[in-house]
Chain A
Amino acid sequence: KQEVTQIPAALSVPEGENLVLNCSFTDSAIYNLQWFRQDPGKGLTSLLLIQSSQREQTSGRLNASLDKSSGRSTLYIAASQPGDSATYLCAVREAGANSKLTFGKGITLSVRP
């Protein structure tokens, strides 16, 4: 059974700092890995999706990396801003037509002005 772990559960940083959010998973036989953002009481916004054959994806100030063999992914946020404050969820997708996502518990990020 796939398990996804995100540590720490919460993180507080000053504005402008570069930061790394970590995600680990137990079963390396994944189809892809996805990072989401969730604001309080809201749904999910997809940030980056990395296919199992890829090593990283970039979008603006965000960069996600994937090391499938070691079961790890990182989300790098450059020059953090207060608007980046949210919960960041990592999810892995199994292979298969009806493949499901297994989510981590998320990391709640607070960027202080």
Chain B
Amino acid sequence: GAVVSQHPSWVICKSGTSVKIECRSLDFQATTMFWYRQFPKQSLMLMATSNEGSKATYEQGVEKDKFLINHASLTLSTLTVTSAHPEDSSFYICSAKRGGDSPLHFGNGTRLTVT
């Protein structure tokens, strides 16, 4: 149990376009979802925390108008990279958990390449 599905697994887009990444909890209700970004040979850096039905909380230095996060249901959160640029090329990973101090479960990540 506790499967998190992330889609797409990879995407290539042109500079200036927007890309949407989905994160779904398949067999549990995710009260909270987290979005991370990972550059090559670097650690996962938390971008934002989203709770179902409320606005996401962004980490310092992450532009909320560029990385739009929606968590409209207990099983789905989306990250939209708006007006993507080559420097946004990265590996994006989501994680989800039930309420309280329950364990975190990770998706398989999305490789974004902006040309």
Contacts and interface: CB of A to CB of B under 8 A. Distances in A.
The answer to whether A binds B is: yes
Interface of A: 4, 9, 31, 36, 41-44, 46, 49, 89, 91, 93, 95-106
Interface residues of B, number: 25
A98 B111 contact: no
Contacts of A96: 101
B46 interface: yes
Main SS at interface, chain B: strand
Given A43-B93, A44-B93, A100 B46 contact: yes
Interface of B: 6, 32, 34, 41-46, 49, 51, 57, 91, 93, 95, 99-101, 103-104, 106-109, 111
A32 to B, nearest CB: 9
B42 A49 contact: no
A42 B109 contact: yes
Given A43-B6, A97-B100, A103 B106 contact: no
Given A43-B6, A97-B100, A101-B104, 8 more contacts: A31-B101, A36-B106, A41-B109, A41-B111, A43-B106, A43-B108, A44-B93, A89-B43
